[in-house]
């Protein structure tokens, strides 16, 4: 599909852009352009692909996303390599997952090539927004929502696919700090048969109250237990977990449909295996977490996702009290995995898996 180019009437002047990306933080310095593709069941599906100025989207007040929340998204990054080229990390995995989310939310799939073309076009067009800071990236947010004006409850017939970019600084200004985690007691993120494996906005809406509770208890993030037994560790609001043990094994919760299948998770399974560790996808209980942390059997707990890469969990808190993992600081495997993964992404470490895709 060809993308129409709609010229920007007034792109951000270079000096303003440079000031904005010098210390962009996360999630607020948006670039000048956006890609949009429309979907209409009655017009043969996907059409009207274009790149143009980033601008508000006009929506009918009855647009079904506003009522029944048919919405999915992806989160990925473009990195600058030492030779100046731009690269994506496993973008075809994001395209595939986007379509898995679409199927669960009764939304149309988008051809993977079209998804990838849209992402690459957005990155190329706004490449000047790459922040010139170590650990900086262009964070890419592809998303799709139901735009049809109709209040009956059924899958919509019209959708919009959009790609926007955010200039992002190092997530860890001043170094990586271990996070403190609150074990949610009253809330679950996902139940068997629910939407936990789909990257859909509603999962995040549902996580905000427990996340606020975590902050009230002096924690950074919340960890969710399974909905049935309230016993098994699932994941954080937006990161998967790995438990690194003294006997050389690593446990990560299995993908049973209630956990988001992270691409960082999948990459870490491969990388930890290469370290000679035995990675097992099996349930790990909250009781086991505490016991193994206290006995010293558990060396580290790693939280992972695109935004924060690999972050150690230092302390776990619940009404039953707190426990500390390992040294409570940044231990060996967290540091090693973090450096290796960011190294591959930034082009400093050899990409032996074919994970890196040039834009």
DSSP of 280-345: EE---BHHHHHHHHHHT-EEEEEEEETTTEEEEEEEEEETTEEEE-TTSS--HHHHHHHHHHHHHH
68-87 mask for ligand PLP (x: CB under 6 A)? -------x------------
Structure tokens that stand for 320 in this block: 């039953």
Does position 91 interact with ligand PLP (CB under 6 A)? The reply is no
Does position 130 interact with ligand PLP (CB under 6 A)? The reply is no
Residue 142 Cβ vs ligand PLP, minimum distance, rounded to whole Å? 12
Residue 90 Cβ vs ligand PLP, minimum distance, rounded to whole Å? 8
Q: Residues 165, 126: contact at Cβ < 8 Å? A: yes
- 204 contact partners, CB below 8 Å, separation of at least 6: 237, 238
Residues 280-309 that bind ligand PLP (CB under 6 A): 305-306
The residue (of 120 and 199) whose beta carbon lies closer to ligand PLP is: 199
Residue 116 Cβ vs ligand PLP, minimum distance, rounded to whole Å? 16
Does position 131 interact with ligand PLP (CB under 6 A)? The reply is no
Q: Residues 261, 248: contact at Cβ < 8 Å? A: no
Calculate the dihedral angle through the C-alpha atoms of 126, 128, 129, 131, rounding to the nearest 10 degrees: 150
Question: Which value, in Å, is the radius of gyration of the alpha carbons in the chain?
Answer: 21
Q: Identify the residue among 125, 195, 264, 301 touching ligand PLP (CB under 6 A).
A: 264
Question: Which of these ranges, 123-131, 135-143, 237-245, 313-321, lies near ligand PLP under the rule CB under 6 A?
Answer: 237-245
Structure tokens that stand for 91 in this block: 């973008």
Residue 4 Cβ vs ligand PLP, minimum distance, rounded to whole Å? 30
Q: Identify the residue among 262, 312, 314, 326 touching ligand PLP (CB under 6 A).
A: 262
Does position 210 interact with ligand PLP (CB under 6 A)? The reply is no
Does position 108 interact with ligand PLP (CB under 6 A)? The reply is no
Does position 240 interact with ligand PLP (CB under 6 A)? The reply is yes
- 196 contact partners, CB below 8 Å, separation of at least 6: 189, 190, 203, 234, 257, 258, 259, 260
Question: Which of these ranges, 98-106, 122-130, 242-250, 256-264, lies near ligand PLP under the rule CB under 6 A?
Answer: 256-264
Q: Residues 300, 312: contact at Cβ < 8 Å? A: yes
Does position 239 interact with ligand PLP (CB under 6 A)? The reply is yes
Does position 238 interact with ligand PLP (CB under 6 A)? The reply is yes
Residue found under tokens 């647009």:
63
Does position 199 interact with ligand PLP (CB under 6 A)? The reply is yes
Measured between alpha carbons, how far is 128 from 338 in angstroms, rounded to an integer?
26
- # binding residues, ligand PLP (CB under 6 A): 13
Q: Which residues bind ligand PLP (CB under 6 A)?
A: 75, 199, 235, 238-240, 260, 262-265, 305-306
């Amino acid at each position: 599909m060809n993308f129409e180019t709609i010229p920007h009437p007034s792109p951000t002047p270079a000096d303003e852009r440079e000031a904005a990306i010098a210390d962009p933080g996360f999630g607020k310095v948006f670039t000048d352009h956006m890609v949009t593709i429309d979907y209409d069941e009655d017009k043969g599906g996907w059409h009207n692909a274009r790149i143009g100025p980033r601008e508000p989207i006009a929506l009918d007040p009855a647009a079904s996303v506003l009522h029944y929340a048919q919405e999915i998204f992806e989160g990925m990054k473009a990195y600058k390599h030492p030779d100046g080229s731009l690269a994506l990390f496993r973008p075809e995995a994001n395209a595939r997952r986007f379509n898995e989310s679409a199927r669960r939310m009764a939304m149309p799939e988008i051809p993977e090539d079209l998804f990838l073309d849209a992402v690459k076009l957005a990155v190329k067009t706004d490449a000047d927004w790459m922040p010139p800071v170590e650990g900086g990236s262009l964070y890419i947010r592809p998303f799709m929502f139901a735009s049809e004006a109709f209040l009956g409850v059924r899958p919509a017939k019209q959708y919009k696919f959009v790609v926007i970019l955010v200039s992002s600084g190092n997530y860890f200004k001043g170094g990586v700090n271990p996070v403190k985690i609150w074990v949610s007691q009253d809330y679950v993120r996902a139940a068997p048969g629910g939407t936990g494996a789909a990257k859909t906005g509603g999962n995040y809406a549902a996580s905000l109250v427990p996340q606020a509770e975590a902050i009230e208890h002096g924690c950074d993030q919340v960890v969710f237990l399974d909905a049935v037994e309230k016993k098994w560790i699932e994941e954080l609001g937006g990161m998967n977990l790995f438990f690194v043990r003294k006997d050389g094994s690593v446990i990560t919760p299995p993908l049973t449909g209630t956990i988001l299948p992270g691409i960082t998770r999948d990459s870490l399974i491969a990388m930890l295996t290469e370290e000679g560790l035995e990675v097992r996808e099996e349930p790990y209980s909250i009781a086991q977490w505490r016991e193994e942390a206290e006995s010293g059997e558990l060396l580290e707990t790693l939280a992972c996702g695109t935004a924060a890469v690999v972050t150690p969990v230092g302390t776990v808190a619940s009404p039953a009290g707190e426990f500390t993992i390992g040294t409570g600081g940044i231990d060996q495997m967290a540091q090693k995995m973090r450096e290796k993964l960011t190294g591959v992404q930034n082009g400093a470490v050899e990409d032996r898996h074919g994970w890196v895709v040039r834009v």
